[in-house]
Structure 1
Amino acid sequence: MKLFAAGLLLSTSVVALSGCTATSSSGPTGRAVEERATVKVTNASSKRSVGIDYALVDINSSLLAYASETTTEAGLGSLGSSRSGAPSLPLGAGDIIQVAIFESQAGGLFIPADAGSRPGNYVTLPEQTIARDGTISVPYAGRIRAAGRQVEEVQAEVEDLLSSKAIEPQVVITKVSSKSAQVAVLGDVNEPTKVQLTDAGERVLDAVSEAGGLKTPNAETYVTVQRRGRTARVRFDKLLANPSENIYVAPGDTIIAERERRTFLAFGAAGTNGRFDFEEENLTLGEGLGKAGGLLDSRANPAQVLLYRQAPRKLLVSLGVDVSKFKGDDIPVVFRADLRDPAALFAVQKFPMQDKDVIYISNSDSVEIIKFLNLVNSISSTASGVSSDVVSTRDSIKDL
């Protein structure tokens, strides 16, 4: 027994003496950082918990049936149906119009009896801009409110006002330019501009086309439509694929194209750790693992491939998860894939990833044993730095 104790003490001493190579560090230890802090705001009272509750959900065939629900968006359809028809374009302040007045015969108010040969019994008034107060001026009819009214309404009122002065007057009002019926297209387009709307009706893609199209990748660009205090947006590739999102634009709308890089993070026992771009329109968990270099054979635990995400509450409810302990519409969820199961490889190829997902691959339990054995086997003969490493070893043991 004494011989065993002496051998254990000798082994411990040798490990401590070899600290300069076995326990080398590229920076200060966690304990040193904590001890030298002027002010500490820690989670010691809650057993070092961050304080964020989350749900753990295994990726299986049942989850795949609801996977599409994790990527739903309200889209532009919330502003109006694409089948409701083009919006009407009433006259507005700033519009330039031209008024033509016809009479049934010469000798009336506008066509004199001695007019001679002329192409028709009408007179064309000079172009005029609808004033800020929304009115126009017509000789012998006076000031007439035009803004906010359809062309036909204004024509009828002018005819009625001239009926007692002209011979069976007929009035035609033509829009020369419509400053009040414009849509601004801004952001990541080639030629930001204002698009003048026509009675034919322009849709979102028409307006983007008038602005020269996008200068950013479709899958990374969101189109936002602002309308009378309301806002809706959709990713451009979904706008292209779903006609119901390509709604009619209305006067005063603002369309903004913005690029948002879609990325995910990979940590742990992956081939490469870091941030990765989606690059494709759709990316699955299996493809994300491939981008990150897959699992390291020497470290990874294939049964603990984890994906961190904020998932909608309704998804968890549909899966039968008790969400009574969570607040809000988005719930932190860790999705787990067990790649020891051959069928799981099919599942990860169908499970869609989302922007800002985090993939974490846990170490195998055997890795910790290997770390300890490497520590023992890396004993060297040098004794420099022994005192500091003994302290570090002692503090590390306290933290266990």
Structure 2
Amino acid sequence: MKIKTASTFVLVATSFLSGCTALPNSGPDSRQVEAQATAKVTSAKKAQAVGIDYALVDISKSVLAYVEDTKATSLKGGFGGGRGGAPSLPLGVGDVVQVSVFESQSGGLFIPNDAGSRPGNYVSLPNQTIDREGTISVPYAGRIPAAGRPVEDVQRQVEDALANRAIEPQVLITKVSSRSAQVAVLGDVRSPAKIELTEAGERVLDVVSEAGGLSSPGIETYITLQRRGKSATVLYDYLVATPSENIYVAPGDTILVDRERRTYLAFGASGLNGRFDFEESKLTLGEALGKAGGLLDSRANPAQVMLYRTVKKDFLAKLGVDTSRFSGEMVPVIFRANMRDPSALFAVQKFPMQDKDTIYVSNSDSVETLKFLNILNSVTSTVAGVPSDAIATRDAVRELAP
């Protein structure tokens, strides 16, 4: 008889919980929100309530073989320059140059007859800046176009212009400063600056070094090269490890050094929930779980450890998945690890984490059952206390009555 009464009470309590709207609440519940909505935009598939199609992939030995690390674009592929010599550095607007004119003997245009008291048969003109028209001025030769031309060409033109005036003139043009052949290095370096290039040729790492080097961890730093409206980005550590990516820079280039802090999220039945930094290391899924406090023994379902990530279609194609059902080049994927399998502990130690991954650890079924029993227990306690509450209220009213 007692068992039958208890069963009846549980049934009534459950109906009460599902249908009653008089319980205390901080706002409308989901049923009220849906019932009073003028229009609803929902997915027909319950399993995909948000409307995003995704793939579920169990982490296994075969999957580990195709897991790809984050790869940036290539500097060499975008601009070339990995082979061959350094780029030429012609004269340009803003360069400061010095012009020296040599004559074979004294008594010419520039060397007086008393040249014996001079240190040599030449004269050095004052330093001058190549003007906006791209020219320099040489006495008795006039204005000579210089911008965009090699030094040797300009020297020859000045010599030709002075040939009928000076005695076998020889002209030497020296760059005092090369403002047209500079590279700007900005971002997470210790001394952002414009670096002047030389004929020896500077590569990307050379100019980063001249700017004081990185001020952030190399594993989280990206190098972006901008040139004539094009740009390419590569991870600093990859640039260091791949000499062919360390290409020559050219005048007018801009190099941006940017730290991109790598983080991941952990939710569910893990020891800690929130956002976590990779810091200065490469993380695996096993290390990320450990950093988030591991699995809660009292709540977690070890067979349902899931990692959310978007991957390229090519990755799923390698696993034999029909990708025609997904639109776009990137596909949302949930990687699932069954930590009840002893070998899974080896697999998660080889599965690399990527920036902005999300880890979710599901609750075990027993936890959901316990939640329901706790609610049921609170209902039975309330029912048992109703008579005593009624008596206490009656006595209080009587005391207030005159």
Report the TM range for the smaller structure's normalisation.
Answer: 0.7 to 0.9
Q: How does 1:260-299 map to 2 (within 5 A)?
A: 260-299=260-299
- Three-state SS of the structure 2 residue aligned to 1:381 is helix
In structure 1, C-alpha distance between the alignment counterparts of 2:232 and 2:93, rounded to whole Å = 27
Residue type of the partner of 1:157? Q
In structure 1, C-alpha distance between the alignment counterparts of 2:133 and 2:332, rounded to whole Å = 55
The percent of aligned pairs where both chains have the same amino acid is 65
Residue type of the partner of 1:374? N
- Three-state SS of the structure 2 residue aligned to 1:336 is strand
Q: Which residue of 2 aligns with 1:129?
A: 129
In structure 2, the CA distance between the partners of 1:182 and 1:356, relative to structure 1 (3 Å rule), is same
Does residue 164 of structure 2 align to residue 168 of structure 1? Answer: no
Q: Which residue of 1 aligns with 2:349?
A: 349
Q: Which residue of 1 aligns with 2:248?
A: 248
Residue type of the partner of 1:140? Y
Residue type of the partner of 2:74? G
Q: Which residue of 2 aligns with 1:120?
A: 120
Q: How does 1:359-378 map to 2 (within 5 A)?
A: 359-378=359-378
Q: Which residue of 2 aligns with 1:42?
A: 41
Deviation at 1:208, TM superposition (A): 2.1
Deviation at 1:6, TM superposition (A): 5.3
In structure 1, C-alpha distance between the alignment counterparts of 2:35 and 2:365, rounded to whole Å = 31
Q: How does 1:269-348 map to 2 (within 5 A)?
A: 269-348=269-348
Deviation at 1:178, TM superposition (A): 0.7
Deviation at 1:364, TM superposition (A): 2.3
Q: Which has the higher contact order (CA 8 A, sep 6+)?
A: 1
**Structure 2, unaligned stretches of length 5 or more?**
387-402
TM-score, length-scaled by structure 2: 0.85
In structure 2, C-alpha distance between the alignment counterparts of 1:204 and 1:110, rounded to whole Å = 44
**Can you list the C-alpha shifts for 1:114-153, whole angstroms capped at 9, x where unaligned?**
3332211111111110011111111222211111111111
In structure 2, C-alpha distance between the alignment counterparts of 1:17 and 1:334, rounded to whole Å = 37
Q: Which one has the largest radius of gyration?
A: 2
**Can you list the C-alpha shifts for 1:167-209, whole angstroms capped at 9, x where unaligned?**
2211111000011111111222222211111112222222222
In structure 2, the CA distance between the partners of 1:266 and 1:146, relative to structure 1 (3 Å rule), is same
Query: Which range moved further: 74-83 or 5-14?
Result: 5-14
Deviation at 1:370, TM superposition (A): 2.8
**Structure 1, unaligned stretches of length 5 or more?**
387-400
Deviation at 1:349, TM superposition (A): 0.8
State whether residues 311 and 333 of structure 2, in contact with CA within 8 Å, keep that contact through their aligned partners in structure 1: yes
In structure 2, the CA distance between the partners of 1:180 and 1:293, relative to structure 1 (3 Å rule), is same
Q: Which residue of 2 aligns with 1:143?
A: 143
Q: How does 1:380-395 map to 2 (within 5 A)?
A: 380-383=380-383
Does residue 136 of structure 2 align to residue 111 of structure 1? Answer: no
State whether residues 18 and 382 of structure 1, in contact with CA within 8 Å, keep that contact through their aligned partners in structure 2: no
Q: Which residue of 2 aligns with 1:203?
A: 203
In structure 1, C-alpha distance between the alignment counterparts of 2:270 and 2:79, rounded to whole Å = 43
State whether residues 99 and 171 of structure 2, in contact with CA within 8 Å, keep that contact through their aligned partners in structure 1: yes
Q: What is the total number of aligned residue pairs between the two structures? A: 381
In structure 2, the CA distance between the partners of 1:322 and 1:46, relative to structure 1 (3 Å rule), is closer
In structure 2, C-alpha distance between the alignment counterparts of 1:289 and 1:100, rounded to whole Å = 71
Residue type of the partner of 1:153? D
Deviation at 1:231, TM superposition (A): 0.9
Residue type of the partner of 1:313? K
In structure 2, the CA distance between the partners of 1:126 and 1:189, relative to structure 1 (3 Å rule), is same
In structure 1, C-alpha distance between the alignment counterparts of 2:81 and 2:361, rounded to whole Å = 44
In structure 2, C-alpha distance between the alignment counterparts of 1:227 and 1:341, rounded to whole Å = 52
Deviation at 1:341, TM superposition (A): 1.9
Residue type of the partner of 1:57? V
TM-score, length-scaled by structure 1: 0.86
In structure 2, the CA distance between the partners of 1:384 and 1:18, relative to structure 1 (3 Å rule), is farther
Query: Which range moved further: 41-50 or 156-165?
Result: 41-50
In structure 2, C-alpha distance between the alignment counterparts of 1:232 and 1:127, rounded to whole Å = 39
Deviation at 1:258, TM superposition (A): 1.9
Query: Which range moved further: 164-173 or 235-244?
Result: 235-244
State whether residues 98 and 174 of structure 1, in contact with CA within 8 Å, keep that contact through their aligned partners in structure 2: yes
In structure 2, the CA distance between the partners of 1:382 and 1:219, relative to structure 1 (3 Å rule), is same
In structure 2, C-alpha distance between the alignment counterparts of 1:244 and 1:26, rounded to whole Å = 62
State whether residues 220 and 280 of structure 2, in contact with CA within 8 Å, keep that contact through their aligned partners in structure 1: no
In structure 2, the CA distance between the partners of 1:250 and 1:57, relative to structure 1 (3 Å rule), is same
In structure 2, the CA distance between the partners of 1:178 and 1:41, relative to structure 1 (3 Å rule), is farther
Residue type of the partner of 1:271? G
How well do the aligned residues superpose, as a CA RMSD in angstroms?
A: 2.9
Deviation at 1:40, TM superposition (A): 5.4
Residue type of the partner of 1:343? S
- Three-state SS of the structure 1 residue aligned to 2:317 is helix
Deviation at 1:234, TM superposition (A): 2.0
In structure 2, the CA distance between the partners of 1:88 and 1:25, relative to structure 1 (3 Å rule), is farther
State whether residues 263 and 277 of structure 2, in contact with CA within 8 Å, keep that contact through their aligned partners in structure 1: yes
State whether residues 270 and 361 of structure 2, in contact with CA within 8 Å, keep that contact through their aligned partners in structure 1: yes
State whether residues 184 and 194 of structure 1, in contact with CA within 8 Å, keep that contact through their aligned partners in structure 2: yes
In structure 2, C-alpha distance between the alignment counterparts of 1:232 and 1:307, rounded to whole Å = 30
